[in-house]
Amino acid sequence: MLNLKKKRKRKLAPVQIVALGFVIVIFIGALLLMLPISSEGGIRTPFIDCIFTSTSAVCVTGLITLNTAEYWSYFGKTIIIMLIQIGGLGFMSFATMFALLLGKRITLKERLIIQEAMNSFSLQGLVKLAKYILIFTFSVEGIGALFLSTKFIPEYGILKGIYFSIFHSISAFCNAGFDLTGSSLMPYSQNVVVMITISALVILGGLGFTVWSEIYNYKGIKKLSLHSKLVISMTIFLILGGWILMFLFEMNNPETLQSLPIKGKVLGSLFAAITPRTAGFNSISTSAMTPAGKFLTMILMFIGGSPGSTAGGVKTATIGLVLMTVISVIRKREDTEVFKRTINKDLVYRAFAIIIISMGVVITTTIILSITEVGASLEYILYEATSAFGTVGLTLGLTPNLSAIGKIVVAITMYIGRVGALTLILALSNKKNGSAIKYPDGKILVG
């Protein structure tokens, strides 16, 4: 009887509340999208497509089974962009904002949930960080919309141009990849203002709010935290490396960059290196890319953005930590060293666990889709699975043709990618403490 009472009184852990919160927002969004007013034709949209679209929006992915520009009414599009904003910033940021507006005190439990949602190091200054995130986000999105309006207003008129500017600015900053043009940003592949603005918004949103907080209060490179140094270094490395490789892979491809002038080649290859982490816009045809270009895109999609950001993937810091561990092993160092600092082994184990579990999710999704999506090539399926897990939104054309089971599988993969594979496992696990048993050392041959 005592055990039953304890089970009844057991409360959800912060990680479980975060995982459950995303599910609730997704279902509310799906119900709103089912309303006839949400579709352009005034019809009730099938639940499977609504849940898929809502999941894609809340998980800031961008994969769609229905054309956003043509199918949804302005009411439906507004619901989608609101879901993107909530999903990008996290529902706890908005809950904190409303609590502060109502003069409500933020409790310790709520602070623990905010800490889990924002991937923060400590409880100190979390409410202040939440305020900063909201102010920073709305400010950046406003500036981005202002720049985009210089192109969209002359093309679509004042009201439609402003709406398009705001929609694409939010979608870019939240790394969502939803667009209202019907063909992503391919019509603007040589427009410097649109390409650079969207690229800047994607990078800003993918760096992480903790990093931007430190940059805002910049007092010298030595004052930056180890986390910020690693994230900034990996981001620069991936952008520059991806840019150079994408240019080399696609420069002679007649279906992507070859026919473009030098400005178009530079912008196209840069954009193709930035958006897979994890925005989902494209200015050149993804299906027409060379095999090397597609494979590079999949690698960038799997890596994604940075911890505590609007992006998905395994995160730059995770990859950076694994790479530095490999380098330390090659140098025969006992511990992982990053910028002359020793990294705790628990963090290293966590990083490797995230990589392995994430690869397992992508492989599992690929295997299931290879069974359900009859006639689709392995290349298309693997690309789709990686894009869904990385919450990217790029596709080779498989998404609109997914079967009902395929849509459910991809939706679940998007959810896992947004919440985090390891986070979801911890949320489903009842065990809180590790085993206190210490077994004798054993030896295994590796390599």
Please tell me the total number of residues recorded for the chain in this structure.
447
Q: Is the dihedral of CA 406, 407, 413, 416 positive or negative?
A: negative
Give the model confidence (pLDDT) of 32-64 as tens digits: 999 999 999 999 999 999 999 999 999 888 899
Give the model confidence (pLDDT) of 418-438 as tens digits: 887 666 665 555 555 555 677
* Total Cβ atoms within 10 A of residue 334: 8
Q: Letter for the amino acid at 427?
A: A
CB 188 within 8 A of CB 195: yes
Q: How buried is residue 428: exposed, middle or buried, by Cβ count under 10 Å (0-12/13-18/19+)?
A: exposed
- CA–CA dist 100, 390 (Å, integer): 33
User: Quick check: helix, strand or coil at residue 341?
Assistant: strand
What's the pLDDT at 366? 97
Q: What predicted TM-score, i.e. pTM, was given to this entire model?
A: 0.87
393 phi-psi bin (left φ>0, alpha ψ -120 to 50, beta other):
left
What's the pLDDT at 104? 58
345-372 and 421-428 are packed helices; what angle lies between their axes, rounded to 10 degrees?
100
CB 60 within 8 A of CB 174: yes
What's the pLDDT at 352? 92
- CA–CA dist 102, 66 (Å, integer): 38
CB 177 within 8 A of CB 206: no
Q: Letter for the amino acid at 219?
A: K
- Closest by Cα among 371, 398, 374 to 386: 398
What's the pLDDT at 208? 80
Listing DSSP states for 154-212 in one string gives HHH-HHHHHHHHHHHHHHHHTT----SSSBTBGGGTT-HHHHHHHHHHHHHHHH-HHHH
- CA–CA dist 204, 136 (Å, integer): 10
What's the pLDDT at 332? 87
74-89 and 91-101 are packed helices; what angle lies between their axes, rounded to 10 degrees?
90
What's the pLDDT at 88? 81
Whether the upstream peptide bond of residue 278 has omega within 30° of 0, thus cis, is yes
- CA–CA dist 128, 340 (Å, integer): 31
- CA–CA dist 139, 427 (Å, integer): 33
What's the pLDDT at 206? 86
Residue recorded with tokens 């904190």: 96
What's the pLDDT at 277? 81
- CA–CA dist 63, 72 (Å, integer): 15
Give the model confidence (pLDDT) of 308-360 as tens digits: 777 888 989 899 999 999 998 898 888 888 888 888 888 899 899 989 999 99
- Closest by Cα among 264, 86, 88, 238 to 185: 264
Q: Express the helix, strand and coil content of the chain in percent, nearest 5 each.
A: 65, 0, 30
- Closest by Cα among 419, 378, 432 to 20: 419
Spell out the domain ranges in the chain: 12-427
Both tokens assigned to 395 = 């596709």
Q: What is the mean pLDDT of each run of 10 residues along the chain (447 residues)?
A: 48 70 90 95 94 93 92 96 86 55 55 54 61 84 96 94 96 91 88 94 86 74 81 93 95 92 92 89 92 95 86 89 91 87 88 92 96 94 95 92 95 89 60 62 69
Both tokens assigned to 373 = 């999506």
CB 269 within 8 A of CB 242: no
- Closest by Cα among 207, 398, 220 to 307: 207
